Structure 1
Amino acid sequence: MTLHRTRLLATLLAGLATAAGASAQEKLTYLTNWYAQAEHGGFYQAVATGLYKKAGLDVTIKMGGPQVNILQLMAAGQADCIMGSSDMQMMVARAGGLPVVTVAAIFQKDPQVFIAHEQVKSFEDMKDKTILIAPSAQRGYWLWLKKKYGFQDSQTRPYTFNIQPFVADKNTVQQGYLSSEPFAVQKAGVKANTFLFADHGWTSYATTISCMEDTLKNRPKVVDAFVKATMEGWKSFLADPAPGAALIKKDNPNMSDEQIAYSVGKLKEMGIVTSGEAKAQGIGTMDVARVRQNHAFLVENKLIEAGKLKVEDAVKLDFIKTTKVLP
């Protein structure tokens, strides 16, 4: 009887410990900037392989999309942190009055590209072409391209995230994401050249972890754990994307294995995650001098009023500096 009671007590204590462990998992919701895809792979990988759970986190990844205002949803408490398309986007939001702070940037190179038909060999060859860009680009990289290459606003037409106008007209150039639209153009049988802005002087970081200032103040340990586990997730995803890819396809059934493989290949080939400062400082790193350069671009182009924003208010690098997950 004594032995039976001892075993029963041990079982009860084990159950209580399990329950306590479950309740200790800190919940965090991360909202992406688009439908689930390989470009979000490290986050899904950290869920799939238990990296977040190991870090004491219960993380939910929510998809964004073309009609989803992720900044608005985070401000309304629907997400703890979001995937900013760029550090510049987040600085503009901060200067506009939203207390958002960027703590890491996964992509050392912004994957924004122009796609042109095969006869176009350089940006200079695009000066007489019709260029399809999204309206948001008019307040971003288009300002840089105009100054550097002499493009004119009169060349532009709206890009509607449909490649058919480009496919049908050899006199057009269109925007794209390195790991996405070039694949669709290739599948359509069109011979085209891709021009990565980042390899021509565009310094924007991309795919950020950006959170409300109150979240950083009230839950610093949770944010720190999330940042560290995420970078481990990205390292794991680039080595073997299968676990994360399975969750990506679950969230976005339209995503094919072929597209994921192409995207991962391009991320690796072009060093989108692992190049630059990430080689020595780790995945997700940000350099404050480069952030200041991006801030200066925003001020120069009147996207932020001079004196309106302090860089140190918009970007907090304490978490990523102590992470150092080397590629």
Structure 2
Amino acid sequence: MPVIDIATDTENLTMTVTAEFAAPIERVWDAYSDPRQLERFWGPPGWPARFYTWDHTVGGRADYGMTGPRGESSRAYWEFLAIEAPHRFEVLDGFSDDNGDPNPDFPSMRMEFAFESVGEATRMVTTSYFDSLEALEQIVEMGAIEGTRLAMSQIDAVLQDLREYAQGKGTRVELLDDTHVRITRLVDGPRELVWRAHTEPELIRKWMLGPDGWEMTECVVGNAPGESYRNSWAPVGDTEGEPFGFEGETLLVEAPRRSVTTERMQGMPAPETLNDLNLYEEDGATLITVLIEYPDKDTRDMILGTGMADGMEESFARLEREVLVTA
């Protein structure tokens, strides 16, 4: 976790974030000055950022939005007040309405980003200055501290070459908090094809099988918000086990990069999870990220204890072998 400390000062009306990155200062500066890189970690998991405009000059402006898993939207902007590459930049950060105009219902703040080389690493200190104690308290109550920690947990994948970061490391499971789990797997193939493999029944049947000895007996896709999906499996031959399946509803689709669905065991009203699939391509490889939201910690631990991650790894390996290589 890059974040070392987050401190609020009610006397000086500041919030200060201190973080360290295993990358040289020029690489970190590049991540913060390129909107395509910045949007990969600026929003917390489940609320990815998208920059719509980017004028990286003093007096320039950047407009961005974050979209929640159920389609909720939050818009904001930066006005660049100072830029001194690669050591610091300063912005006025505020919320905006759907037209990009400042939203007076939420506070704005001045933010200073300072970067310093520490050996081969980089230390960043971000200080946010507020106009009033009420503004500082409002931002904290909105979850800024935990949101910042979770957002910054994504930056390692940005600062490293994607293949160096994830290739050969299999399916990785990260416990973000009591109810959120992030699962990542790099597959060697283009995002467009990986997206098709998640949305076209004839391709899904080739790889989404879990452990050997099982077959998919039903595959009904829901590729638009409001549509339902249904997948079922059964053992083959001497394989032990009872047929089972999952079903749910599609909540959000941003092809070919993001899809959010609910998921529950067939025939059971609960527990239900929220599955947020994101795809990112770099140098011909695609990083699959699945953010799962569970209703509680006990449900999280129960489902992870079924060997779910092992089954996903066998499926992802089959995806590379049966779909991506043969395409």
**Normalising by the residue count of structure 2, what TM-score does the alignment of the two structures yield?**
0.27
Greater helix share, structure number: 1
Specify which structure has the bigger relative contact order, considering alpha-carbon pairs within 8 angstroms and separated by 6 or more residues.
Answer: 1
**Normalising by the residue count of structure 1, what TM-score does the alignment of the two structures yield?**
0.27
